[in-house]
Amino acid sequence: MNFAISILFRAIPLLMGAVCLSFGWYVFAGGDDPAHRTAGHVLVSLTAICIALFTTAAMIIRQLTRTFGPLWKVVLPVLGYGVAATTAVWGLVLRGGPSNADFVAGHVVFGVGLIAACVTTVAVASSAFTLITANAARRHEDGPPADAYGRSVLVALICVPAVCALVLIVWASVLLTDSAEAPRYVAGHVMMGLGAICASLISLVATVGRQVRNEFDEPERWAWTLWVLLMGSAAILWGVVVLVASDRPERLAPGCILIGLGLVCYSIISKVFLLASVWRRHFELANRVPLIPVFTCLACLFFAAFLAEAAITDPGFFIPARVLTGLGAVCFTLFSIVSILEAGTSGKS
């Protein structure tokens, strides 16, 4: 990986974060109605995921370009977890605001903060990324290399997305027990989709960590990919059910956003699938896998365009049209991460 490409792949998450931040502020300042307030807050919070993805990109690229010093093992996780914690706290404060828009936005922003923490955990798991290529040339029976992190560290890393997913799913279930109230109905469904993303990231942390420790074996090669596929499909199916199961006007936002969150899960599939495909084998189409998040990005953006047009006659589509634009930016950021993984595992570094 040459210097110019390494800069580009690190710049993409920051540029997409700038898009989410600026577009979110533009939407927030564009009107005093609750829809602008909710969509604006959520879009701004998506910046946290982009920054967390930047920490992952920087962690891996610095190893591939041999510019990785011990300081980066501290600076990058502190940046990612710091932004994630700030976003989560902001969501908790916001949910106590005076309006229903604050209640919904606060819950969603909190969930986005937990996703950012999970993505940063991927960065931490990748702190010994170059061992993956080295281990692929060894045998499973050789065991973990001496310079890999311990099994207890790996378990702790996997627990981060697992706990975040559990928190979001349980909290969403509590909200949905009283779904007759529109704010709880909307927040509960969207938090369920955010929980699916955290659950998907369990697979990525586990795949990276187990390959770093040379514990990744044939029986689990496709299990983690299928798990992410299940989470993404469940989110999309849940969104479709929400849209068609009732005629409540507030169903439009959570139903459409759940479909977008499912597409984000499908973007995560590309990373898990790539790592599984090239582990101790040659995969001819490895350089095509980064197209998956490009397609999901386009799907989000085209869906958002249709919803923006529909919002002219039905204001219920206003929020999902804006939020799906931000989710498209997140998917495109994942394109940069998958491209870095492909370069690192194919020996192009």
DSSP 69: -
Q: What is the pLDDT of residue 348?
A: 54
DSSP 99: S
What burial class does residue 291 get, using C-beta atoms within 10 Å of its C-beta: 0-12 exposed, 13-18 middle, 19+ buried? middle
Dig out the tokens for 227 from the structure.
Answer: 């798990």
Q: Residue 95: what are its φ and ψ, rounded to 5°?
A: -65, -20
Dig out the tokens for 224 from the structure.
Answer: 């983690």
Q: What is the pLDDT of residue 206?
A: 96
**Low-confidence stretches of the chain (pLDDT beneath 50):** 349
Residue 241 is which amino acid?
V
Question: Helix-strand-coil percent breakdown of the chain, rounded to 5?
Answer: 80, 0, 20
Contact call for residues 289 and 225 (beta carbons, < 8 A): no
Q: 284: helix, coil or strand? A: coil
pTM for this prediction:
0.95
Distance CA 333, CA 258 (A): 19
**CA atoms within 13 A of residue 291's CA, in its CB half-sphere:** 5
Residues ≥6 apart with Cβ < 8 Å to 109: 41, 42, 45, 87, 88, 90, 91, 94
Residues ≥6 apart with Cβ < 8 Å to 321: 304, 305, 307, 308, 310, 311
